[in-house]
């Protein structure tokens, strides 16, 4: 009834196109603080489904530029919203995908990003000081895309990640925090970009990641928690960087992701029967791409962007996903 054994690409493309048309929906407005991320999620999902042109390039770039906050030298998530590292990374990723980085003032954005590094090595999200390894990853990813990594104090940055490492091999949001698959991904991907995978206890971490798979095929983010489609990407991308995707059951995970599709209106939800959103749609599609699902475009698990684009910029790291299936 609500599940399918196939990825419903045309339906998901229409779903993503329709997201900007929901302006009489309260949820659309309540999530304005995530709009820039949502545009990046939607665009990347379209790229992976090989429908990059389904959203207008010019309109997308104009939206991104309308969120530029000149006093800060950074992007907000929506016009009139404050600048923050998360929408700034999404804006850069969108502009890279559309080959429009020339629209931004690279030295100023670089300065904004570097100004958020704390003495401990972690990054704050904005001037109000919330810290998180997510922000550290955002900074490293953005600086790398802008070709400004040489300005980063790598030793200080890596030292913070090292202190977040737990006995289970995983990483948390801050020093002392419990391991969580999303934080594992940001730390693993940041270390991959910085060529410092030696920090990771690879056998222990890959073991912990493999144990995220539940009997129904879905992945959870921590021991004894429920499965959720978004962990398909966070666990799989980390396993790809460690070259251990084969340590989980790809077929069962593929079926689980497909079963969370909304077969009427498109989009993918956290789990079967729930309301879809663009966040779970990109991470479901990206997970399927890493699993070698036929017909999809390769995603780079380190940058969460189209792999050929990252490769063309000379940024590809030594990750390994499953080979693309013919059908």
Partner 1 sequence: MHGVKRVQYSQAALEAKKQRDHDKLKAYLALSDDVIARKKSHDMSNEAFELTTRLLRMNPEFYTVWNYRRDMFIESLFPQRSPSEVNELLSDDLSLTFELLKQHPKVYGIWNHRRWCLEHIPDGPSPDDVNGYRNSTWNKELFVVEKMLDADARNFHAWNYRRYILATMPFPPPPKSELAYTTRKIEANFSNFSAWHQRSKVLTTLWETGELDRVKSIEEEFELVRNAMYTDPDDQSVWIYHAWLIGNGNYAARLQFEITSIQELLDEQPDSKWCMESLVRYKRLLIEKHAENLGDKKALVDSCLELLAKLRDIDPPRRRRYDEIAEGIRSGNEMQ
In the complex, the residues that contact partner 1 under the rule CB under 8 A are 2, 24-26, 29-33, 76, 80-82, 84, 126, 128-130, 166-168, 172-174, 176-180, 206-208, 210-211, 213, 217, 222-225, 228, 244, 246-249, 252, 262, 269-271, 273-277, 279-280
The residue among 176 and 314 lying less far from partner 1, judged by its C-beta, is 176
Q: What are phi and psi of 69, to 5 degrees?
A: -110, 105
Closer by beta carbon to partner 1, 206 or else 307: 206
Closer of 159 and 204 to partner 1 (Cβ): 204
Provide the token pair at 186: 């940001």
At its nearest, how many Å lie between partner 1 and the CB of residue 203? Answer: 9
d(CA 125, CA 117): 9
Is 145 or 180 the residue whose CB approaches partner 1 more closely?
180
Rounded distance, CA 310 to CA 324, Å? 18
As a whole number of angstroms, the distance between CA 257 and CA 288 comes to: 8
Give me the least distance between CB of 202 and partner 1, in Å please.
12
Least Cβ distance, residue 166 to partner 1 (angstroms): 7
CA 59 and chain centroid, separation: 22
Q: How far is the CB of 127 from partner 1 (least distance, A)?
A: 9
Say if residues 236 and 201 touch (Cβ distance below 8 Å): no
- Number of neighbouring beta carbons within 10 Å of residue 232: 30
Contact predicate 224/212, CB 8 Å: no
Half-sphere exposure of 252 (CA within 13 A, CB side): 13
Task: Name which of 63 and 208 has its Cβ closer to partner 1.
Answer: 208
Shorter beta-carbon distance to partner 1: residue 14 or 252: 252
- Nearest approach in angstroms of CB 292 to partner 1 is 15
Angle made by CA atoms 183, 184, 185, in degrees to the nearest 5: 90
Query: Is residue 118 within 8 Å of residue 78, measured between CB atoms?
Result: no
Query: What is the smallest separation between the CB atom of 247 and partner 1, expressed in angstroms?
Result: 4
């Amino acid at each position: 009834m609500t599940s399918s054994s196939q990825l419903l690409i045309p339906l998901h493309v229409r779903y993503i196109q329709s997201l900007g048309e929901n302006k009489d929906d309260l949820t659309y407005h309540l999530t304005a603080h995530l709009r820039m991320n949502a545009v990046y999620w939607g665009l990347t999902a379209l790229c992976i489904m090989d429908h990059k042109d389904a959203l207008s390039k010019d309109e997308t770039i104009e939206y991104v530029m309308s969120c530029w906050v000149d006093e800060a030298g950074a992007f907000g998530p929506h016009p009139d919203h404050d600048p923050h590292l998360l929408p700034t990374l999404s804006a850069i990723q969108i502009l890279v995908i559309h080959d429009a980085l020339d629209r931004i003032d690279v030295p100023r954005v670089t300065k904004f990003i570097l100004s958020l590094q704390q003495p401990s090595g972690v990054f704050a999200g904005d001037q109000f000081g919330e810290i998180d390894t997510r922000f550290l990853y955002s900074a490293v990813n953005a600086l790398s895309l802008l070709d400004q990594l040489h300005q980063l104090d790598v030793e200080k940055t890596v030292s913070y990640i090292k202190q977040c490492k737990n006995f289970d091999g995983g990483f948390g949001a801050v020093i002392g925090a419990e391991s969580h698959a999303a934080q594992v991904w940001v730390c693993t991907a940041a270390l991959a970009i910085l060529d410092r995978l030696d920090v990771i206890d690879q056998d222990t971490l890959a073991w912990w990641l493999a144990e995220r798979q539940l009997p129904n095929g879905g992945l959870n983010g921590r021991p004894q928690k429920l499965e959720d489609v978004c962990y398909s990407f966070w666990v799989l991308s980390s396993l790809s960087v460690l070259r251990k995707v084969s340590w989980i059951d790809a077929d069962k995970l593929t079926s689980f992701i497909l079963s969370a599709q909304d077969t009427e209106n498109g989009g993918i939800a956290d789990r079967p029967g729930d309301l879809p959103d663009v966040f779970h749609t990109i991470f479901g599609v990206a997970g399927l791409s890493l699993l070698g699902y036929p017909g999809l475009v390769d995603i780079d698990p380190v940058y969460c962007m189209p792999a050929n684009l990252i490769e063309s910029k000379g940024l590809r790291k030594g990750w390994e996903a499953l080979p693309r299936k013919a059908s």
